[in-house]
Amino acid sequence: MIIKKVLAIVFICYSSLAFAYQDEDLDGVDDSIDQCLNTPFNELVDVNGCTLDAKKSSWIVRFGSDISFEDIQNRVSSFNIAIDYNYANFLFSISNYSYYENYQNYISDTNSLYLNGGYMIRENNLDTFFNIGSKLILKSDENSQNDYFASLELNYSKDKKSDIFVYGSYTISGKSDTNNYLSLSIGSGYLFSEKFYSSISYDYSSSYYVDTNPYSSISIFSSYQFNKRYFTTLNYAYALDQLSLTHTISLRFGIYYD
């Protein structure tokens, strides 16, 4: 959802001439020629400032890496590539997650495929996104089984620059010796410019493994829109629990297609 907010912002400039540029709904179209004032903050518009055809489809390709570490010798890294397809208020995604662990002389190599689909409801200043999916194990050093999950995300934006979000998901583990687990996140973000967005959140997840303490962290997320097609995101998480690796850095690059 955060990526969509950045993708929805088009070029906005401020006139230094005799008259002032005004764009109350931040859609990139001057109010003097905007035929649809007060369009939602996260919707793309045409040259007249009106929301594009609701059935218009779009694609997003994202790829990048996650690295968790205490030091150079003890780290966990992964590579991820994802393809998102959006049609009206529906969003479908397929992603590959390659995981490599080298921690305290223990080496593990896992490859998983994620399939999920969801639906977004937009009402005034509140976006509600429902999502269900599954994790399919393609390769693992352990006796892993497929997982299934469902999530709900709420995003509230009153002034079209700042937002408050709450995310929750529940995963049913396919392994008999592991737990089903709940993940929660709550945070707030701000759109500093038409290209740059940043947020901070508190993240919590009950443990996947039996008799293990839950995970918690503070995360700082940022996204930057190079132009209408290319963007990047960077996330840093600092673990608050004693078991997890302290630092996690996630970097993604993305391409948007109409």
Per-residue pLDDT of the chain (258 residues; tens, 9 = 90+): 444 444 444 334 433 443 444 555 565 666 655 556 666 555 556 555 666 554 578 899 999 999 988 876 677 888 999 999 999 889 999 999 887 666 555 556 678 899 999 999 988 889 999 999 998 888 765 666 788 999 999 999 988 789 999 999 999 987 766 788 999 999 999 999 989 999 999 999 998 777 778 999 999 999 999 998 999 999 999 999 888 889 999 999 999 987
How high is the pLDDT of residue 26?
Answer: 60
Q: Tokens 């518009």, residue?
A: 45
Q: Tokens 């973000």, residue?
A: 189
Q: Tokens 């479908």, residue?
A: 92
The H or E element spanning position 224 is strand 215-225
Q: Is residue 4 part of a domain?
A: no
Rounded CA separation 100/103 (Å): 10
Q: Is residue 72 part of a domain?
A: yes
Q: Which residue range(s) make up the domain with 227?
A: 57-257
Each as own residue / partner, the long-range contacts of residues 203-212 (CB below 8 Å, 24 or more positions apart, any chain) are: 203/237, 205/181, 206/179, 206/181, 206/182, 207/179, 207/181, 208/173, 208/178, 208/179, 208/181, 209/178, 209/179, 210/177, 210/178, 210/179, 212/243
Rounded CA separation 193/9 (Å): 9
How high is the pLDDT of residue 30?
Answer: 63
The pTM of this model reads 0.74
Q: Is residue 20 part of a domain?
A: no
Check which CATH number belongs to the domain holding 139 and give it.
Answer: 2.40.128.130
Pseudo-torsion of CA 19, 21, 23, 26, nearest 10°?
A: -170
Q: Is residue 90 part of a domain?
A: yes
Q: Is residue 125 part of a domain?
A: yes
How high is the pLDDT of residue 18?
Answer: 39
User: How many domains, the chain?
Assistant: 1
Neighbours of 168 (CB within 10 A): 15
**Residue 167, SS3?**
strand
Q: Is residue 88 part of a domain?
A: yes
Q: Is residue 45 part of a domain?
A: no
Q: Is residue 33 part of a domain?
A: no
